[in-house]
Amino acid sequence: MIGLLALFACGDGTAEVRADLEAKGLTVLEVKLVESEQGELFEYAGTRDGQFCMGDVGRSGSSLGCASSTNSLTTEVCSDDGGLFAQAWRCDHLSVGTACNDAGVILAKDGKPEGFERVVRGCNLGFADACRNAGVIVNGGLAGQAADPFAAATWFERACYGGSGIACKARGTLLKTPASPFACGTAAGTWFERGVALNNADSCNELGLQLNNCENGDKVRARAMFKAACDGGEVAGCSNLGSMRWAGHGGDVDVPGALSAWETGCTSKEPSVKACIKRANNGPPAEATVWLGKACDAGDLDACLDFGVGLIKANVNDQGSVMLAAFQKACDGANATGCRNIGVVRRDGLLGLEKSKDEAHAMFVKACDMGDAPACRELKK
């Protein structure tokens, strides 16, 4: 009986290896015995000094697993990023669905087929967003997979039923066509409704579009859907809500409410260019330049031109560099008018900027080469 108790006390050495690793500064996540015939070998993983580390420990001695055994660290690899390295290990060793998904997404972005395999494993482990990512991969023909919208639909449905609202929206969106951009008369609305029930803002916006644009649509509910989308952070919903309030569709005309919705969409972390432009075009003229500037910042090159011209008209000298940057952004985006405007600014020294005949000429040449007739005429003077 005493011998049996001693055997249980010694165990397989896992506790001793864990204690030894922790004594060496590792926060241990797992220690696992992988070999015991020719001496004990343990695999482990943990964190040390902000890094994710994994390795193995060999144990030898006349009485394996007991006090007379000795531990010897044979290999250890650490990584700073905690990204693919850590997530792949958690997927492989702990069968964590979220980790399989995260590792798969990283690999898929690099075009590696293993990325698809890992998100599928994450899906099979019950993580709905991994099912959605499997759909994204096959729908786009990514990570070595053939583009297959029918297979994508199956993955999106599985994710939607698993609780991924954005997957419900993706499934409905597959039913859109150039001839029917709002998927009128299809089952898309059913999928958008599922997404709405899961509080997905994108689904609210899509359902609002369908209700607002399809025959016999419910514009009152469409307006409510756009508000839910905007409240949930979907900036396209804010733009659409503003338009309905402005026009009085689905409810009373609400000009302040329209301006507020557009402002929300324009000032969000990922702003809606449409919301910025609508706010600029429909609000007080004196405020238009500010909102055009925000549209320019969000990537609308035509707004950059209008913003720069607005600053010139306001004739505020300390805005010269801001005006020039707006025209430069348009020019860098292959907008010939932006290049020509830089030429005009440098030719005339607008808003207090230094005149430069050489730079003006160079910009007129660039704009002319891009097909801008006024710039070509300028070169003939």
pLDDT in tens, 179-211: 999 999 999 999 999 999 999 999 999 999 999
pLDDT the model gives residue 61: 55
Q: Looking at the predicted structure, is the pLDDT value of residue 5 above 60?
A: no
Compute the C-alpha angle 311/276/205, nearest 5°. Answer: 175
**In contact, 281 and 303? CB cutoff 8 Å:** no
How would residue 4 be classed by pLDDT, with cut points 50, 70 and 90? Answer: very low
Backbone angle region of 50, left / alpha / beta, with phi > 0 → left and psi within -120 to 50 → alpha: left
Q: What is the C-alpha separation between 295 and 303, in angstroms, rounded?
A: 6
| pLDDT tens digits, 272-316 | 999 999 999 999 999 999 999 999 999 999 999 999 999 999 987
**Percentages helix, strand, coil for the chain, rounded to the nearest 5?**
65, 10, 25
Phi/psi region, residue 248 (left: phi>0; alpha: psi -120 to 50; beta: rest), is left
Question: Which two tokens mark 331?
Answer: 């020019």
User: What integer best gives the mean pLDDT of the chain?
Assistant: 90
Q: What pLDDT score was predicted for residue 36?
A: 67
pLDDT of residue 120: 98
Q: Report residue 116 as tokens.
A: 């698809």
Per residue in 77-134, pLDDT (tens digit) is 887 756 788 888 889 888 999 999 999 999 999 999 999 999 999 999 999 999 999 9
Over the stretch 40-74, which tens digit does the pLDDT of each residue have? 888 888 888 888 888 888 876 544 444 444 556 56
* 69, two tokens: 């055994």
Average pLDDT over residues 242-266: 98
pLDDT of residue 71: 55
At residue 67, the pLDDT reads 44
Residue 216: exposure state from Cβ atoms within 10 A (0-12, 13-18, ≥19): exposed
CA separation (Å) from 360 to 328, 347, 353? 13, 5, 12
Residues 6+ apart with CB under 8 A from 191: 160, 168, 169, 171, 172, 175, 203
First to last CA, the chain: 109
- C-alpha 175/C-alpha 256 separation (Å) is 36
